Structure 1
Amino acid sequence: MPALYALVGCATIYVTFVAQMEGADSFVQFDDNATHLGMISAMSEGASYSALKTTVYPSLPADQTPFSLSSFYPNAWHIAAAIVCEALGCTAPIAENATNIALVALVYPLGTCALLGCLIGERNRAAISAGAFTCLASIAFPLRMLTVHGAFPNLAAFCCLPALAALFVSLLPTRGERLFDPRLAAGFLIASAGCALTHPNSIFTASLLLLPYLLLNYLPRLIPGQGWRRISRSHFLLLTRGLLCLAYVGMWLILFNSPLFSDIVDFVWQFSRTLPEALWNVLTAGYYARFPQYLLGALIIVGLVRALRSGSLRWVGISYILIALVFVLGLTLDYETRRLISGFWYNDPERTAAMLAIAAVPLSSLGLWSVAQVLTGTWLTLQKRLGHRPLHARRVAAAALLVAAAALTCVNFDSRPMGNEPSPFGFASDQVRRTYRFSDDQVYTARERSFVQHVKELVGEDALVLNNPFDGSAFAYAADGINVYYKSCRPSNETQESASIRMSLNEISSSRSVQDAVKKTGARYLLLLDGPKHTEGDVYTMLGDYRADVWAGLNVDDDTQGFELVLSDGVLRLYKIVCD
């Protein structure tokens, strides 16, 4: 069964993601990913492998570090990618892509396999098999998270959620002699810590997924069957559930108001939809992308009805409804109120849609299995009426599941246009093609990259090169190994030397303070690429925070005194700083 999940997962991710990339070293050119790639490169080049503190600057002399960016950040995903980078000697973009592909093609499907085995029971192999074909069926996760924002730590944490849920369900069994399995306690604690150190909001997601299991399935085992004093068992169970829910809400409010999460919950994306739109997006499994996946949505509804009618699986349906509420309310409430509901996910509908896609997998698996059961029953009945020798029921069930899975694959993953509109996976695949390439509409283009490689041959890997990070050169360090001064677009705890260079470098011929600042850094060159290419309202790319006045000192041309042109290609320039 794990082999089936791995095979289907690898095949799906290859077709929908890997085959659409321009190359193994192409990457998402968003602001967040400039930081992620820098952190991976810094770790592999000697920076700390701390799981809690990080920096985009490797072990450089202090004078070559413009910002003190070492700060708290959950770092588990960066550590995994940095190990790949260092062990194989590859660049940070290749290590990043390899890590992400392993997560979405193997970790996420295999965790889903384990979870469905816990929910349905290992004997019902047909029902578990259905999950192999549904766990990657939504474009909301993982495909959208591979292309939008570059929120890869969140992607990694979400990929681990099914395995974490499987551990929790196994840890607190609803049958057997043990109320608690101590053998799994250590594993669950380690997995929880791993998810938290990958991205903390995975723990909030896990709590929404698993709270219904605790309340509906496990808690009844702990309530005495003969009642408690004068309170009947049902009333005591209801009271206990109410108290646990109040405790959960209280903890939610405490953490919401905690300074630890203030930067996260206060971040509000200015996106809204009407309530009917949001509900329709949930029913059709289009979620935030606005591309309805009707067949997948129908399977989810069938699975939801079946789960709500089942005593042991009702909690799965309740989990989906809870997360659907987070998604819907996070899009329809006013900006101030939605912080309380979806703030732990940056009030980002892309992330809450990904959560909803993950919660839907057990339901869509149940829905696909239900379709296979209908096909099985229809075939066996037809065989009986025709007087033919009946085939073995298990073989018919397996064949029916394959037919249902093939139909789902052909319809759901079809990338051909649907009339005048692209299909969901056609849209998602096109996003990958447009994102993972070095085209002229990107911040860091193929031409600029080729120029940077020539610069590296000329000046060497260790020479410090001044740059404007917003013209794409922030990626030059991680992608091509050139030691640019500004490896991040986010000034923080800036040195005086950096402030002088950033604001007044073009005055070096007349300013002693600028001359001293450059001399202290040891920089001898200035690299200028084509840009920054900034447009108003640019919220997704790395240019959203660009301000020309903040980087005015880097406005240098061939006539600026103190700079000698060394290499050029059109508007691309490498200057040697000649002012002593």
Structure 2
Amino acid sequence: MTAWLQALPAVSVAAAMLLVPGLLVAVAAGLRGLTAIGLAPPLSVTTVACTAVAAGLVGVPFGVAAVVVGTVVTAGIAVAVSKVLPGTAPSRTSCPSVVAGLAGAAAGGMCAALAVVHGIGQPDVFPQTFDAVFHLSAVWQALHTHDASSLTMGTVAAPGNSSAFYPAAWHGLVVLVAEVSGAPIVVAVTAVSVAVSALVWPLGCVLLARQVAGSRPGVLFAAGVLSAAFGASPYLLLSYGTLWPNALANALLPATLACAARLLVPRDRAGQTDGFDRWRAGVFGAVALPGLALAHPNAVLSGLIYGTVMALVALGHWGLSARAGAQPRLVALGGAAALVGAGLWLVAWSPLFAATRHTSWPARQSLAQAVGEWVSAAPMRTPVPWLAAALVLVGCVVAWRRPQLRWLVLAHAAAGAAFVLVAGSDGPVARALSGPWYDDPFRFAALLGVTAVPLAALGLEAGAIAGVRGVRARSHRFPALRPLVATCGLAAVVATLTGGMYAGGNSHVVATWYHGQSLAGPAERAMLERLPQLVPSGELVAGNPWNGSPFASVLGDRAAVFPHVSGSWDPDRVLLASSLNRAEDLPEVCAAARRLDVGYVIDGSVAFWKGDHRQAQYRGLEVAGHPGFEPVAHGGRLTLYRVTACS
């Protein structure tokens, strides 16, 4: 626990970076209450990510100063745009709704933080997975080059290029946390994970619930509390993969979809009291999209699933309600067909996702099993949250009985159908439609909570109201508060019965990929952490990336020649990978080593993904027993050698 107390400043900085820039922009545009607070994280991510791109283009170092300037500029633009929009900016807020929503988000956030903290174990531990190698190396590079632009982040796996795109919003946030708090990179990564799950996700769920159910305090409180209940969201991608950027993007989805819901979905009078008109919903939704895309592009496509359902419902509502005859219905039908066709083309045939369509994961279960997992709110064998899953089913019934909420049930079914198709089928349809998500059922499973949370909140409120009606009240005082009090009470009971919204089971979801040590165990890590005393500053460290040597950067503050286990290497790196151990015989090897400033090499056996065919290209880095390499330090499987052949 002492280590977590020491990490608290980093967590606080992460929360501030995810909340403050966007909140300033929202308030400058005139937004207030839950709308401003709920939209703050996606607006913050857009501000940080776009500032990083702009700073890279003009040659300005990325950091806190650049983000401050970016926030001021974005806030100024928000003020100017708000003045030209029709109508007036929202100024009225419902105090009970704000208090209930924030209280629910705080309660759910505490449960989520507890699950993440227990799952990770110690703040300086990181999952030793394929993607984690890239992300940790990318943060180190961005921190040392002061460049966190998405236009250049891809050079981590293609260091011979001057530019290569990779969505870098998450990496920029980690860089800011490390810079401001002074925490090590791994602790900064952990801090962002805690803040994403305990702040961004519950606030977004509350905002989406507000657009679904209006300003009913009971639903808002329930949505905040229940946001922590589902193992698939927001916990799964914090560990699996490890897909930290995708986890951030998914956490931004509810708030972004709240804008789409306000813009597209017909609403009853109860939902029109927030003052968040369609003009502003469209503008702020558009502003949130760059942050969503630069966190992870497939989140935009995930949002397209829900947005398509909303648009189809809106077109159907307009076509059926029009009184002009058959022409509006034909227009609505044509618009729906065009919308679906454009979406299918974008996902299955557009060149934007041509590269990701080559990735394929075999089906892990039958279609029937996948359906059962989605219905029980436990996709990809995450723990079954029985009570929360039952509330989702009740919420589906409640929402379907209200025509203006049926889109939510249809959206939940659409996301479920995508998961079932990818998890249970290897057919051509599944392959074609899952390209942007790498044909990976885990990425679809992580979408569960986007619709499950508001549905469960509706179900919990319905249960509470039924309980109030079933008990004869002894007092007729404050009848309007009874549903709220009953909902809060029932939510407290659910939280108690489930052990803090299944915090124990959800911590196991986080811990699943955090406990491996196949790249760097304690002994290997101890040696890597000594690199600042062993390797002079400015000299690069070579090594087979599959044996853990890329962690020379994030743990030892020394640049690795191969910062990822797989990449597009330049000719000098290709030569070293195949022939460094022949440096005394091949002058061109030493020439390449000098051009790259390589003075040391880490050699040792591979324990990660043994037998992967890509490991063969690094056999030239097996220097043990070869002349021209002097052992300097040893730790577990790894030995550090100084390259004397090229002295």
Matched ranges for 1:394-473 at <5 A:
394-413=480-499, 426-433=504-511, 435-437=513-515, 441-473=517-549
Residue identity matched to 1:94: V
Residue identity matched to 2:289: S
Residue identity matched to 1:205: S
Paired with 1:431 and 1:127, the residues of 2 have a C-alpha distance of: 27
Per-residue deviation at 1:450?
1.0
Structure 1 residue corresponding to 2:623, chosen from 556, 560, 564: 556
Aligned to 2:570: 495
Per-residue deviation at 1:160?
1.0
Determine if the alignment matches structure 1 residue 378 to structure 2 residue 470: yes
Determine if the alignment matches structure 1 residue 137 to structure 2 residue 229: yes
Deviations 1:73-102 (A, max 9, x none): 222222222222333333332222222322
Per-residue deviation at 1:427?
4.8
> Structure 1 stretch 314-323 or stretch 459-468: which is displaced more?
459-468
Paired with 1:223 and 1:284, the residues of 2 have a C-alpha distance of: 34
Bigger share in helix: 2
Determine if the alignment matches structure 1 residue 295 to structure 2 residue 371: no
Determine if the alignment matches structure 1 residue 182 to structure 2 residue 279: yes
Q: 1:431 to 1:366 in 2, by over 3 A?
A: closer
Per-residue deviation at 1:69?
8.1
Determine if the alignment matches structure 1 residue 323 to structure 2 residue 415: yes
Q: 1:274 to 1:568 in 2, by over 3 A?
A: closer
> Structure 1 stretch 43-52 or stretch 168-177: which is displaced more?
168-177
Structure 2 residue corresponding to 1:207, chosen from 304, 307, 311: 304
Q: 1:226 to 1:571 in 2, by over 3 A?
A: closer
Deviations 1:163-215 (A, max 9, x none): 11112233357469999733343212111222122222222222221333333
Aligned-residue Cα RMSD (Å) equals 2.8
Paired with 1:535 and 1:77, the residues of 2 have a C-alpha distance of: 30
Determine if the alignment matches structure 1 residue 578 to structure 2 residue 578: no
Determine if the alignment matches structure 1 residue 102 to structure 2 residue 201: no
Paired with 2:434 and 2:212, the residues of 1 have a C-alpha distance of: 27
Structure 2 residue corresponding to 1:245, chosen from 323, 330, 336: 336
Output the TM-score relative to the length of structure 1.
0.86
Aligned to 1:314: 406
Which runs of no fewer than 5 residues in structure 2 stay unpaired? 1-99
Structure 2 residue corresponding to 1:193, chosen from 262, 282, 290: 290
Matched ranges for 1:115-134 at <5 A:
115-122=208-215, 124-134=216-226
Paired with 1:19 and 1:138, the residues of 2 have a C-alpha distance of: 16
State the aligned residue count: 541
Structure with bigger gyration radius: 1
Per-residue deviation at 1:272?
3.4
Contact 2:461 2:483 (C-alpha < 8 Å) held by counterparts:
no
Determine if the alignment matches structure 1 residue 35 to structure 2 residue 134: yes
Determine if the alignment matches structure 1 residue 349 to structure 2 residue 435: no
Contact 2:257 2:307 (C-alpha < 8 Å) held by counterparts:
yes
Q: 1:358 to 1:570 in 2, by over 3 A?
A: closer
Structure 1 residue corresponding to 2:632, chosen from 554, 566, 569: 566
Residue identity matched to 2:297: P
Paired with 1:116 and 1:219, the residues of 2 have a C-alpha distance of: 23
Deviations 1:471-522 (A, max 9, x none): 1121221233122222111230x23321221111112222222222223322
Aligned to 1:513: 588
Contact 1:329 1:341 (C-alpha < 8 Å) held by counterparts:
no
Q: 1:443 to 1:331 in 2, by over 3 A?
A: same
Per-residue deviation at 1:561?
0.9
Aligned to 2:148: 49
Query: What is the SS of the residue equivalent to 1:50?
Result: coil
Structure 2 residue corresponding to 1:476, chosen from 552, 566, 584: 552
Q: 1:462 to 1:324 in 2, by over 3 A?
A: same
Per-residue deviation at 1:222?
8.0
Q: 1:212 to 1:226 in 2, by over 3 A?
A: same
Aligned to 1:421: none
Q: 1:491 to 1:73 in 2, by over 3 A?
A: closer
Output the TM-score relative to the length of structure 2.
0.77
Paired with 1:489 and 1:25, the residues of 2 have a C-alpha distance of: 22
Residue identity matched to 2:514: Y
Paired with 1:31 and 1:466, the residues of 2 have a C-alpha distance of: 18
Contact 2:356 2:438 (C-alpha < 8 Å) held by counterparts:
yes
Structure 2 residue corresponding to 1:526, chosen from 583, 587, 601: 601
Aligned to 2:47: none
Per-residue deviation at 1:149?
0.5
Contact 2:319 2:329 (C-alpha < 8 Å) held by counterparts:
no
Q: 1:434 to 1:291 in 2, by over 3 A?
A: closer
Paired with 1:51 and 1:445, the residues of 2 have a C-alpha distance of: 32
Paired with 1:319 and 1:338, the residues of 2 have a C-alpha distance of: 19
Q: 1:238 to 1:172 in 2, by over 3 A?
A: same
Q: 1:575 to 1:314 in 2, by over 3 A?
A: same
Aligned to 1:91: 184
Deviations 1:510-562 (A, max 9, x none): 222222222332222222355344336xxxxxxx5642x311111122x3211
Paired with 2:277 and 2:477, the residues of 1 have a C-alpha distance of: 43
Deviations 1:127-150 (A, max 9, x none): 221101212211011111111001
Q: 1:66 to 1:274 in 2, by over 3 A?
A: closer
> Structure 1 stretch 303-312 or stretch 340-349: which is displaced more?
340-349
Q: 1:447 to 1:2 in 2, by over 3 A?
A: farther
Aligned to 2:41: none
Query: What is the SS of the residue equivalent to 2:486?
Result: helix
Deviations 1:415-467 (A, max 9, x none): 9xxxxxxxx76454234345335x6x431222211111223212234322222
Q: Percent identical across equivalent pairs?
A: 26
